[in-house]
């Protein structure tokens, strides 16, 4: 892993980045976590790789969320960094945010387990124009063009889901490969951005923006860590995972921490 040396980087949100987020749905900033923290997290991920691969988490709990939370304090501290929480509040234009979803690991692997040997994620949006959220996503490996890079359709978080679906469907049919109307869409959109996620950079984006991945042809891992901040009333997908991973601790957390992790109403 290679990126600027030193501890946590001070990051400031510029107007231009904020505008890019609102208009296009994403922007990049230098990895703000520091080499030490990243190394610490990677070490936990590597040490637990085999164990996690064979772990059956209780029904209903998100596997990648459990893996994320298993890292423990180092990863909680990252998510709680005041500068990141502040950026999230400014982007979402609200006074309070909580973490509604998190994940660590290889999302493609998790998908392959449920859908067979797919080496690619199809076009979808985790939300829509009415869902306000901001996600911080950092690769533990470089997701280059052969390593199923994340493809984003800029500005699609502002448009009706049906409209985007129809647009992508027509492009997919236009490939001439289908006998029937396809249910999963993968075709390149002329306006899409193929993002090469390098550990030196963190992607700040809204998963309400339509996204897919390229095909994974490279061997080796494709790990990432990410979490989403939501304004009050937003999603709280991983609260049960949190209680499961921190059964003896969470009730003793202070209110500030409980609030940030969605444990208060
Ligand atoms: Fe997604």
Ligand 1 center–CA 2 separation, angstroms: 26
- Supply the pLDDT for residue 240: 96
Per mean pLDDT, which range of 32-36, 160-164, 186-190, 221-225 is the poorest?
32-36
Ligand 1 center–CA 25 separation, angstroms: 13
- Supply the pLDDT for residue 35: 87
Question: What mean pLDDT, rounded, does the chain reach?
Answer: 92
- Region 73-91 average pLDDT: 94
pLDDT band at 1 (very low <50, low <70, confident <90, very high): very low
Report pTM. Answer: 0.93
Q: Which residue has the higher pLDDT, 34 or 161?
A: 161
pLDDT band at 34 (very low <50, low <70, confident <90, very high): confident
pLDDT band at 2 (very low <50, low <70, confident <90, very high): very low
- Supply the pLDDT for residue 114: 55
Q: Which residue has the higher pLDDT, 14 or 10?
A: 14
DSSP string, the chain: -----SSPPP----HHHHHHHHHHSEEEEE--S-HHHHHHHHHHHHHHHHHHHT--PPTTS-HHHHHHHHT-HHHHHHHH-HHHHHHHHHHHT-S-EEEEEEEEE-HHHHHHHHHSS--SPPSB-SS-TT---EEEEEESS-B-TTB--EEE-TTGGGS-HHHHHHHHHHHHHTTS--SS--SS--PPPTT-EEE-B-TTEEEEE-TTS-EEE--B-S-S---EEEEEEEETT---TTHHHHHHHSTTTGGGS-HHHHHHTT---
pLDDT band at 7 (very low <50, low <70, confident <90, very high): low
- Region 112-118 average pLDDT: 57
Residue 46 clears pLDDT 60, i.e. is over it: yes
Percent of the chain with pLDDT over 70: 93
Ligand 1 center–CA 77 separation, angstroms: 24
Residue 200 clears pLDDT 80, i.e. is over it: yes
Overall CATH class of domain 15-260: mainly beta
Ligand 1 center–CA 6 separation, angstroms: 32
- Supply the pLDDT for residue 8: 64
- Region 194-200 average pLDDT: 96
User: What residues does each domain of the chain span?
Assistant: 15-260
Residue 137 clears pLDDT 70, i.e. is over it: yes
Ligand 1 center–CA 209 separation, angstroms: 9
pLDDT band at 116 (very low <50, low <70, confident <90, very high): low
Percent of the chain with pLDDT over 90: 83
Ligand 1 center–CA 54 separation, angstroms: 24
């Amino acid at each position: 892993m290679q990126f600027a040396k030193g501890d946590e980087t001070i990051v400031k949100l510029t107007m231009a980045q904020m505008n890019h987020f609102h208009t296009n749905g994403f922007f990049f900033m230098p990895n703000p976590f520091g080499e030490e923290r990243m190394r610490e997290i990677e070490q936990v991920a590597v040490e637990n790789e085999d164990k996690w691969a064979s772990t059956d988490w209780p029904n209903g709990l998100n596997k990648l969320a459990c893996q994320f939370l298993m890292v423990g304090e180092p990863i909680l501290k990252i998510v709680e960094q005041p500068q990141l929480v502040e950026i999230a509040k400014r982007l979402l234009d609200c006074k309070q945010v909580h973490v509604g979803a998190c994940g660590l690991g290889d999302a493609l692997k998790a998908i392959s387990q449920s859908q067979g040997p797919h080496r690619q994620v199809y076009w979808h949006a985790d939300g829509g124009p009415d869902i306000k959220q901001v996600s911080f996503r950092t690769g533990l490996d470089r997701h280059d063009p052969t390593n199923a890079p994340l493809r984003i359709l800029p500005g699609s978080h502002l448009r009706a889901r049906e409209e985007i679906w129809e647009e992508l469907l027509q492009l997919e049919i236009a490939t001439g490969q289908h006998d029937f109307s396809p249910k999963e869409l993968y075709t390149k959109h002329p306006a899409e951005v193929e993002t090469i996620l390098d550990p030196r950079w963190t992607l700040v984006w809204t998963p309400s923006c339509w996204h897919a991945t390229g095909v994974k042809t490279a061997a080796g891992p494709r790990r990432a860590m990410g979490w989403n901040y939501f304004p009050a009333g937003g999603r709280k997908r991983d609260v049960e995972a949190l209680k499961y991973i921190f059964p003896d601790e969470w009730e003793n957390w202070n209110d500030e921490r409980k609030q940030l992790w969605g444990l208060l109403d």
